[in-house]
Amino acid sequence: MSPNRPAKPPLDMKESTPKSPEKSQPGLTRRHFIKTGAAAALTAASWNRVLGANERVNVGVIGFGLIGRIHTRNFKAQPDAQVVAVAEAYGPRMEAAAGLVGGGLAKYRDFRKLLDDKNIDAVVVAAPDHWHALMTMLACAAGKDVYVEKPSSLFVREGRWMIDVARRYKRVVQVGTQQRSGAHYQRARELVRGGRIGKLVSVQVSYFRNVSPGFGHPPDGAPPPELDYDAWLGPAPQRPYNPNRAIYHFRWFWDYSGGQMTNLGQHSLDVVHWFTGVKGAKAVTSAGGRHFLEDNCEVPDTQDAIIEYPGFQAVCQWRECAAGVAATGMGGLVFHGTKGTLLLGRDGFEVIPDKKENPINIVARIIGGHPVGGPQPVPEPPNQFWTEPAKETSGDWKDQYVQHVRNFLDCVKSRKQPNSDLESGHQVATVCHLANISLRTGRKIHWDAEKEEIIGDLESAMMLARPYRKPWDAELRALGVL
């Protein structure tokens, strides 16, 4: 579809091909289908197909990029799942998906046709971030359960819309924060919640790398013929095509993403929320910008965020222009407690106890000791510690993806809440979005987590929502969330 052509109207839910406007039946449009609650019949049919522990779940994948390919492999490998369809706006990737899955794969350029396919029970949403919320909501309304990649939303209000729609249609939705399905993450959580490192004081998250000098300044131009750029843009603002805006590089633009704060930030802060049970932050302060990389991209190459939670705080640091030497890495965190420290990553964890010393001795031995009249050492037993050490190296990042898929499929059948449910995913994404709002406004953001409102800052509050581009705004209104 050319960017200058009008987008297709919403597709008829009764067929997998669009009807021309003059022949379409108003009573059968997707918007009518959603508004009248007709999805209940499809929901029942989908439910009946997945009853029984041994029945196969038919899966459709929307977006066959870096992570979509991982999910396709993992769902394909499950004995009770079958990848039956893919939707992709970039032709070569659609063919790559067909090559991975094999014969019989249904291929759609318009994801709405995939949603119309009544043979599909569940959908994987692995499209760019700006698509996550709307695709998830439309999939729920079409009677599909959803595995949606993180971040679950592009802006705060989308998250609550997603929850409302998923609950209305009684859908299982798993957010792609796979650490919750990792066995060693679960054991580390038990240690923290059991007091192994004492009272939690703070959490440190950092990811440093150096992609200097950046991604350059390619000129705007015509999109490649194999990319349906208008479909790729979807609800995002209309912009001229630029190679740095599409495919993987979308992550560097505010129209489609929130940079590493919402990318890796949702992974790490999800672990924080899961370990501690917090529902949201009290306040968030962030600073940074794109200061060092030389390109036409927008999101920060340097960002620091201080997140004030009830009872403790977290510090997030992102660097795209300096590799550093002591970053926690992808999916890594440091939990600082009153008795010790937990180092946690995708490959394992370690508890490092704090040494138990008389406070007098700690200050008495500073830089050779104090002169007469200052604190002097006192006798105490040697080699005492506040807690016991622990170490585990069993973590496997690939298996965490697999186990998360397994948990989702089990919940599709049992109708139980998945490990990374939509409510928790929304709460974590909200904190990430608030950090970016703070960075972009230059102000500290005070947050009421119960009301989901920014306190005392109307300008910042306006950034909790964004408009959808036509015709996708009509799809949103039809879902009844505005």
- Residue pLDDT, tens place only, 123-132: 999 999 999 9
Domains and CATH numbers, the chain: 182-352+381-392+423-451 (3.30.360.10)
pLDDT of residue 178: 97
30 CB-near residues (< 8 Å, 6+ apart): 10, 11, 12, 13, 112, 138, 475, 478
What pLDDT does 126 receive? 98
Contact 293, 301 (CB under 8 A): yes
Indicate left, alpha or beta for 329 from its phi (over 0: left) and psi (-120 to 50: alpha).
left
Encoded tokens for 94:
């659609």
pLDDT for the residue 37: 53
Q: What is the pLDDT along the chain (482 residues), one digit of tens a residue?
A: 333 333 343 333 333 333 333 333 333 345 555 555 555 444 444 444 444 444 899 999 999 999 999 999 999 999 999 999 999 999 999 999 999 999 899 999 999 999 999 999 999 999 999 999 999 999 999 999 999 999 999 999 999 999 999 999 999 999 999 999 999 999 999 999 999 999 999 999 999 999 999 999 999 999 999 999 999 999 999 999 999 999 889 999 999 999 999 999 999 999 999 999 999 999 999 999 999 999 999 999 999 999 999 999 999 999 999 998 876 777 789 999 999 999 999 999 999 999 999 999 999 999 999 999 999 999 999 999 999 999 999 999 999 999 999 999 999 999 999 999 999 999 999 999 999 999 999 999 999 999 999 999 999 999 999 999 999 999 999 999 98
- What are 431's two structure tokens? 């904190």
| Two tokens, residue 295 | 């390109």
| pLDDT value of position 31 | 53
Report how far residue 83's alpha carbon sits from residue 147's, in angstroms, rounded to the nearest whole number.
13
For position 50, what pLDDT does the model report?
Answer: 46
Alpha carbon distance, N-terminus to C-terminus of the chain? 29
pLDDT in tens, 149-158: 999 999 999 9
CA-to-CA separations, 58 to 64, 100, 105, 303, 413, in angstroms, rounded:
17, 16, 11, 41, 12
Q: Give CA–CA dist 117/107, Å, rounded.
A: 11
What is the per-residue pLDDT for 4? 36
Distances (CA, A) of 350 to 183, 314, 340, 478: 14, 19, 10, 50
Determine the pLDDT at residue 35.
Answer: 52
Rounded Cα–Cα distance for residues 139 and 142 (Å): 5
What is the crossing angle of helices 397-414 and 66-77, to 10°?
60
CA–CA gap between residue 112 and residue 228 (Å, rounded): 14
